[in-house]
A and B are shown apart, each in its own frame.
Chain A
Amino acid sequence: MNQAARVGIVLVSHSAALAAGAAELASQVAGGAVVVVPAGGTDDGRLGTSIDKVRDAIATADSGAGAVIVPDLGSSVLTVRALLAEDDTLPGLLAVADAPFVEGAVAATIAAAVGSDIKAVVAAAEEARNARKL
């Protein structure tokens, strides 16, 4: 593997605890090789989503190879979409993965850890829809 920048991962959840926990898990499964940034809850710590938290998380996650955003449910998706539509100061390489939250986060992080490009990271996350756990 070369030492080029890895794709970063942003986990958007209604719950700060859920986003933080998923980020901790994904990061540890990948041995800490990837920046996984949680963006959960509202600015005042309630359940919900914050466009500013997502914007900051993207800035932290991107180190030149772009960032893949994994939203949990409903308004997480809407918040991410609204941000991508309205903010033209964001990094050029951004993608949203349509994937189950925990499985998608883990699969995306492993793909990023081995140096996959942003398309392959999204594909790995989205393949998680077909992964059986039993």
Chain B
Amino acid sequence: MPGSSERSVTLAGDLHARPAGSLAMAAAGFESAIELQVGGSRADAKSVLAVMGIGAASGQEVTVRATGPDAEKAVAAITEIILDATKVGT
């Protein structure tokens, strides 16, 4: 049964290349379509280049939106990666 889920988090640091890679690899493990939104820019979370291209920087709010059978799990996993990866000092 397709569902949708959404959560917004504020970045404590910039979303660099390595976290963008972790995020895209994790996103690929979900069936749901997963989108990141920062301001007016949107990116497919499964595309590492799109995630890097969104240029999400410290202090910005990122909205993670998923649609599909595992939408809730996907949003939980992706927001955790974003929060973890952008912690100051990592």
A contacts, CB < 8 Å to B: 1, 25, 28-31, 33, 103, 106-107, 110, 113-114, 127-128, 131-134
Number of B residues whose C-beta is below 8 Å from A? 16
* Bound Cα distance from A46 to B76, whole angstroms: 50
When the two chains form the complex, which single residue of B17, B25, B49 contacts A113, counting CB atoms closer than 8 Å? Answer: B25
* Bound Cα distance from A131 to B50, whole angstroms: 6
Question: 7 A-B contacts, Cβ less than 8 Å apart?
Answer: A28-B18, A29-B18, A110-B24, A113-B21, A114-B29, A133-B52, A134-B53
B contact face: mostly helix, strand, loop, or mixed: helix
When the two chains form the complex, which single residue of A1, A25, A33 contacts B17, counting CB atoms closer than 8 Å? Answer: A25
Indicate with 1 or 0, residue by residue over B73-90, a CB within 8 angstroms of chain A CB atoms. 000000000000000000
Indicate with 1 or 0, residue by residue over B35-77, a CB within 8 angstroms of chain A CB atoms. 0000000000001111011010000000000000000000000
Residue numbers in B under 8 Å from A127 (CB-CB)? 47, 49
Given the interface contacts A114-B28, A131-B53, A132-B53, does A107 sit within 8 Å of B21 by beta carbon?
no
* Bound Cα distance from A29 to B25, whole angstroms: 10
CB-based contact A31/B25 at 8 Å: yes
When the two chains form the complex, which single residue of B21, B47, B55 contacts A30, counting CB atoms closer than 8 Å? Answer: B21
Most B-side CB within 10 Å, residue of A1, A29, A131? A29
* Bound Cα distance from A132 to B21, whole angstroms: 16
